Amino acid sequence: MSVSALLFPGQGSHAEGMEDPFRGHPLLQRGLELLGYDPFDRLAEGTRYQQPALFLCSVAAWATWRESGEGADTRPAAAAGHSLGEYAALVAAEALAFDDAVVLVDERAAAMADAAALQPGGMVALLGGDAVAVRALALRLGLTVANDNAPGQVVLSGPLEAVAAAEEAAREETGARARRLDVGGAFHSPLMEPAAERLAAALAHTPVAQPRLPVYANGSAAPFADVRRELAENLLRPVRWRETLLAMRAAGVERFVELGPGAVLTALVKRTLAAA
Instruction: Exactly one of 82, 157, 188, 189 is catalytic; name it.
Output: 188
User: In degrees rounded to 5, what are phi and psi of residue 41?
Assistant: -80, -10
∠ CA 276-269-162, rounded to 5°: 90
**b/e map 55-67, b = 16+ CB within 10 Å:** bbbbbbbbbbbee
Q: Which residue stretches of 119-159 are H helix?
A: 131-141
Does 14 qualify as catalytic in the annotation? no
Nearest partner of 175 among 128, 220, 223, judged by Cα: 128
Nearest partner of 10 among 246, 235, 229, judged by Cα: 235
* Pairwise CA distance, residues 245 & 222, whole Å: 10
User: In degrees rounded to 5, what are phi and psi of residue 258?
Assistant: -90, 130
Does 83 qualify as catalytic in the annotation? yes
* Pairwise CA distance, residues 139 & 258, whole Å: 33
* Pairwise CA distance, residues 46 & 173, whole Å: 32
DSSP string, 17-72: TTTGGGTT-HHHHHHHHHHTS-GGGGGGG-HHHHHHHHHHHHHHHHHHHHHSHHHH
Instruction: Exactly one of 58, 83, 157, 189 is catalytic; name it.
Output: 83
Give the active site residues.
Answer: 83, 188
